[in-house]
Every structure is written in C-alpha cells, then in structure tokens.
Amino acid sequence: MGRGGLRLLRRLAERGYAAYFVGGCVRDALLGRPVKDIDIATAAKPDTVLELFPEAIPTGLKHGTVTVPLGSWHYEVTTFRAESDYSDGRHPDSVSFLDDVEGDLERRDFTVNAMAVDAEGRLVDPFGGRRDLEAKRLRAVGDPAARFGEDALRMLRFVRFAAEYGFAADEPTWAEAKLGAPGLAVVAMERVAAELSRMIGGSDPYRALALLRESELLRWTKERLRLPRALGLANDDGADSAAPSAEDPLRRLAEVGDELARWALWFDRMELGPDEAEGVCRALRTSGAFEGALRRTLAFHAALRGAPTELARRAWIGAALRQGEEAARRWLTLEPAYRGLPAFDWTAPYFDAGAAWLDEMPAKTLKELAIGGADVLAAAGGRRGGPWTADLLGRLLEEAALGELANEREALLTRVRSLLPQYGAGN
Ligand code: ATP
Ligand code: MG
C-alpha cells in the first residue's frame, strides 16, 4: 500500500502510537484488487499527526481526520474513534476518540470493511471479515437493524458492495435493509447520488439495479425518486436468475465503457425521455453538465430509433448536429450492449458507419460554416435578423454536413439567395 504508508505507520509507532491501514484498502488488498485510497487509523490525536507530519493538511478535524500527502498518495489519517447516538439517522451526535483499534473497527459498516493491518502485516479482524471475504458474504458489523438505523446510507452501500464484489447478500443483513428502506428519507440526496453513480459506473451495474428493485430503496429516498418500479429490468427474475433474458441490453451494462452512456441506456430502458431525465437529475442534485450530457444522449438515441433504415445517414448527421458530436461519440460506446440483439438490429448501421460518418462531416457546427449571420443579412438586403436567420443557417449547416452543399462562401451565398423567398424576404 505504498512505501509512504509504511513509513507513516512506522513513524507513528516509533512515537508509541498504534497505527493501522484500515477499511477499503485492507479489503481490496486481501482480494488482490487495486487499492484506490488508503485510510490509516491511529491512536495519535489529530494535532499530534499534524506535528509529526509537517506536510499534513487538516481536512476533517471534526472527525479526527488529517490528510498526509506522501509521494503520489494522499493518506487519510484518522484518530481511532467511536460514534454514538445517531438520533437523526445520518450523522453521529458525538464522536469520541479511543485508544485501541477494535473500538474503531466496531463503528464500521460491514465485516469486510472492518479489518486493520499494522506495519508488520498483522491483521486485526475482530468480526470475521476475512472469512466473509472468502465466503463472499456481506454482513453488517453487529446488529444490522441498529446499524442501518444509525446511518441509512449504509443500505445503499450494501447494494453497492454486493454488486461490486459479487457478494451474496447475507440474509439477516439484507432482510433488514429491505425493512429499513423508509429510513433513507433523511439522507442527503447528494450522498444517494454518489452511491448510485458508483453502482452504475461499477463492475456489475445490472446486479445493483436488481437489488435496488428488490429492496425499493430508491423509492424511499428524500425526493421519492420517481423511477418506474421495475427500474427498466426486463423480467421479474430477481438478482441471481439462472435464466437470463438475453434480450435485455441492461444485462450488458458492464461492457459499456462510458459511465454517462450507461446512465442513458438505463434511463432509456425505463422509458424516461430527456425531460424526465432532467427531473431525476434535479432530484439527485447532479451537475448541470451531467444533466445536459444525459439529455443529449437520450435525445440522440431517440432520434435514431425512429428513423427509417434508408435514411440512417441523414438521421445520424441530423442528430449529431442537434445534440452535438460528443453525444454521438458517447452513443457509439453503447455498441457492446446492443450489438446482436434482434430487437435492436436497427442500431447496427449506426455502429457500423456512425464513426466514419462523423469523421467525414464537412462541417459539424455553425462556427465551421464558411458564412455567418452577417453574410445572410447582407444577402437579404439589410433585413433585420431574427429566428429565421438561425433557421436558415441551420438548414445550410445540415446540407453542408450531409455533403449536399459545398462548405464554401460562394456556394453557400448562392444557396442563401435561392432560399430567401421561402423566408419571406423577396429578391
Ligand atoms: P471504496 O472502495 O468505495 O472507497 P471503502 O470501503 O474505502 O470503499 P469509503 O467510503 O472510502 O469506502 O470508506 C472507508 C471506510 O470507512 C469503509 O471501509 C468503512 O470501514 C468506513 N465507512 C465508510 N462509510 C461508512 C458508513 N456510512 N458507515 C460505517 N462505516 C463507514
Ligand atoms: Mg475508500
């Protein structure tokens, strides 16, 4: 877990402070998975850590957390602590510092997340996390109902970890997550969205969706996410069906590289269009950029779906002009989900030729058109600009993009003059 991490543990140990790698990095290291971020737990108080490591940044003093940048890693160093009295179902009323690691592990959500390793490689595993990891079992530390009651987000974390690592849902824990679903109403939508996005972007989003459907967790969130009950899943076969419906592109979500494209595919399966997607994005407090990109990808997909085969190229180019090249390129990443499914054979011509059509487009935006609004107005004899100008330019762009009209000044002006009568401007 990085030389820096070991140095850090040793420096704390030299001063007499117990220190461990904890949580996700221990779990991932035991699984032989790449470690993303490294958390360290120690008996040293935050001010001691700040003193020992002059480069440390006080990132979360309230929770006892200090960030120590060493080499290319940022280590989150947190003082052993206990949390108590979650009267609101989302954060502890008080945090108290502890002297030993066991107490710190006790506050953690699942046994596989509640292990620690010291600088000598000794594992501290009071709840049988390693055994659960080997048995692929996701189990709460202690009483699941109480743990979900303390922090309702843990129910969504349960779904995320179960899907991400292919864990079986441990029955008492999973049963409590389903019972406790209404508790999610107090959790900030930002936290819900972060979990959801890690599920969709994760290694088995289909399984995550199946577990979400089964538990109805999303329905109970603060904003009562208005998603179809079935979440777009083709049939009622639950999470571990032996008879997969080969027709459902959602089953292949994990093969789609682009995360936003995955969202678009999921929304399309739920039959949510761009406007409905916008509502969901608002509820999830996503960024405007995310919302816009999702809308455009959905609109792009819808534009292709309705097009007759013989007009595929025209539909593709028209959609790329309206929704932007980025939406078109993103849509292409959906190929592994749709390719070969009979119900989606209309997508084949686009996956076959779409990239080439984009590459060949002589102009993709109004900026690339060889004339602009001022030229149109001059050709119209000084008539005032208005919506008609944009409309006419859009038409020129489409003809140029399709290769029906040369993207050259003279050719475009000739075409403007021939179109002007249709725009009520006379000769
Ligand atoms: P990831 O790979 O997603 O980062 P992680 O296990 O590191 O997984 P984090 O959210 O980074 O998850 O949290 C680090 C550790 O803190 C967890 O392993 C767990 O021990 C503990 N933890 C995090 N969130 C909670 C929570 N809501 N309730 C209890 N313990 C938590
Ligand atoms: Mg982590």
Give the span between the Cα atoms of 224 and 189, in whole angstroms: 10
Return the structure tokens found at 349: 């011509």
How many angstroms separate the CA atoms of 205 and 160, rounded? 9
Give dist(CA 372, CA 375) in Å, integer: 5
Q: What's the confidence (pLDDT) of residue 359?
A: 97
Q: What is the pLDDT of residue 199?
A: 98
Dist. CA 314–CA 401, nearest whole Å: 9
Q: Which H helix or E strand runs over 116? A: strand 116-117
CA nearest ligand 1 atom 12, residue: 24
Q: In what order do the strands lie in the sheet with 38-42?
A: 57-60, 65-70, 73-79, 38-42, 19-22, 116-117, 123-124
**285 contacts 189 by C-beta, under 8 angstroms:** yes
Pocket test for ligand 1, best of 95, 109, 132, 186 (most atoms within 8 A of CB): 109
The C-alpha atoms of residue 112 and residue 27 are separated, in whole angstroms, by: 6
Query: Measured at the alpha carbon of residue 378, what is the angle toward residues 372 and 381, in degrees to the nearest 5?
Result: 145
CA–centroid distance, 199 to ligand 2, in Å, is 14
pLDDT of residue 246: 67
Question: Is 34 touching ligand 1 by the criterion CB < 6 Å?
Answer: no
Q: DSSP state, 140? A: B
Whole-number Å distance between alpha carbons of 278 and 258: 19
Assess whether the C-beta atom of 163 lies below 6 angstroms from ligand 1. no
Distance from residue 37's CA to the centre of ligand 2 (Å) = 5
Ligand 1 centroid–CA 83 distance in Å is 14
Nearest partner of 357 among 339, 375, 340, 332, judged by Cα: 332
Beta bridge partners of 97: 81
Q: Give the contacts of 56 (CB within 8 A, at least 6 positions apart).
A: 49, 50, 66, 67, 68, 77
Average pLDDT, the chain: 93
Pairing of strands 38-42, 73-79: parallel
**Within 333-386, where are the H helices?**
335-338, 348-360, 373-379
Euclidean distance between CA atoms 162 and 26, whole angstroms: 17
Instruction: Report the nearest-CA residue for atom 8 of ligand 1.
Output: 24
Give the distance (Å) from ligand 2 centre to CA of residue 188.
19
CA-nearest residue for atom 11, ligand 1, is: 24
For ligand 1, atom 28, name the residue with the nearest CA: 109
Tell me, what's the pLDDT at 31?
95
Whether ligand 1 lies within 6 angstroms of the CB of 202 is answered as no
- H or E stretch including 263? helix 259-269
Taking the centre of ligand 2 as the mean of its atom positions, its distance from the CA of residue 335, in whole angstroms, is 31
Pocket test for ligand 1, best of 108, 115, 133, 165 (most atoms within 8 A of CB): 108
CA-closest residue to ligand 1 atom 27: 154
> In whole angstroms, what separates CA 139 from the centre of its chain?
25
Residues 6 or more apart from 125 whose CB is under 8 A from it? 114, 115, 116
Taking the CA of 31 as reference, the closest ligand is 1
| DSSP-based three-state secondary structure for 373 | helix
Q: Is the shortest distance between the CB of 213 and ligand 1 below 6 Å? A: no
Residues 6+ apart with CB under 8 A from 171: none
Low-confidence ranges of the chain (pLDDT < 50): 238-243, 426-427
Is 153 close to ligand 1, i.e. is its CB under 6 Å away? yes
Cα separation, 316 vs 260, in Å, equals: 20
**Ligand 1 center–CA 110 separation, angstroms:** 9
Nearest ligand, CA 194: 1
Among 255, 211, 247, smallest CA distance to 231 is for: 211
d(CA 117, CA 20): 5
**Do the beta carbons of residue 184 and residue 152 sit within 8 Å?**
yes
Torsion angles phi and psi, residue 243, rounded to 5: -115, 80
What tokens does 389 get?
Answer: 């100008």
Q: What CA–CA distance (Å, rounded) separates 287 from 290?
A: 5
What is the number of other CB atoms lying within 10 angstroms of the CB of residue 49? Answer: 26
Tell me how far apart the 2 most distant CA atoms of the chain are, in Å: 91
| Rounded CA separation 179/216 (Å) | 10
Q: What residues does the ion ligand 2 have nearby, CB within 5 Å?
A: 24, 37
In this structure, are residues 149 and 177 in contact, taking their beta carbons and an 8 Å threshold?
A: no
